[in-house]
Amino acid sequence: MPVLLCPANGPAHAAHAYEASEAHGAVWVRLEESDSRIPEIAAAPPRRIVSGPHDVATSAPRVVENFLDMSHFPFVHEGLLGDRGHAEVPHYDVTVAGDGRPVAPAYRAWQPQGRAGAAGGAWVDYRYEVLGPYAAVLLKRADAGEAPQEAYALWVCPVAPESSRVWFTHFTADERTPDAELRGFQDAIFVQDRPVIESQQPRRLPLAGGEAHSAADRLAVAYRRYLRELGVTFGVC
């Protein structure tokens, strides 16, 4: 799938062909030669709804780390993804995929409304997986033995060291709820996240210490370690 782009600062009539492919409801363009691959998401439900873009005044790693944070649900998303009566973060383990990506394979949380159209609260089993330096996915199931009913993939495009553009792909087994309602639910969640993310200082994610962590942050700590091991320098300090 060739894509032709005319560079804004280049020759007036220059055209360049880039390798491109479609995955997860989006078109992916390779702007330079590399061995990077489009992230794979195993066991995600078949229906896909893309929401965004959302422009955010912070670094891409800050956005990803917020997505990986279990402790903020009862306070930032109270009444939707959490409530203050269930604020404790239970113990969870962090493992590492073969290529070094952090994974939290099992985390159980109470959600007053876990998805658009839900009639009431329920205990939900999560699986978090970092897909790359600026991408992650959360898979949700009503029971650990079942296939995921929902998955939310986060894609962050770093526009500058302290600004980002964000998309989500929502994978769902729900065949009835209209796309607009599902997209609206996801947008409402991110509207709650935005002021929190943009208030964090420094906007570049510190990889060399300087911020305190608790046991609830073990996935975030693993994500920072992963960025250090990759040698990521953009959006970090």
- The 10s digit of each residue's pLDDT in 168-196 is 999 999 999 999 999 999 999 999 999 99
User: What pLDDT, on the 0 to 100 scale, is given for residue 69?
Assistant: 93
Banded pLDDT at 17 (limits 50, 70, 90): confident
CATH for the stretch 45-230: 3.90.380.10
Contact yes or no for 162/59 (Cβ under 8 A): yes
User: What pLDDT, on the 0 to 100 scale, is given for residue 8?
Assistant: 54
**8-12, 64-68, 192-196: range with lowest mean pLDDT:** 8-12
User: What pLDDT, on the 0 to 100 scale, is given for residue 1?
Assistant: 39
Question: For the chain, first and last CA: distance in Å?
Answer: 37
- The 10s digit of each residue's pLDDT in 87-130 is 888 899 999 999 999 999 998 887 776 566 666 677 788 999 99
User: What pLDDT, on the 0 to 100 scale, is given for residue 225?
Assistant: 97
Rounded percentage of the chain residues whose pLDDT exceeds 90: 54
- Strand ranges (DSSP E) for the chain? 3-5, 16-23, 26-30, 47-56, 95-96, 102-111, 122-132, 135-141, 150-160, 163-172
Query: What distance lies between CA 107 and its chain's CA centroid?
Result: 16
Torsion of CA 219, 225, 226, 230, to 10 degrees: 170
Output the pTM of the full model: 0.87
pLDDT over 80 (residue 218): yes
Residue 4 token pair: 């032709």
Bond preceding residue 45 cis, omega within 30 of 0: no
The domains of the chain are located at 1-38, 45-230
Contact yes or no for 45/172 (Cβ under 8 A): yes
Residue type for position 37: R
Q: Single out the residue of 95, 69, 46 nearest to residue 154, CA to CA.
A: 69
Residue whose token pair is 């989500």: 168
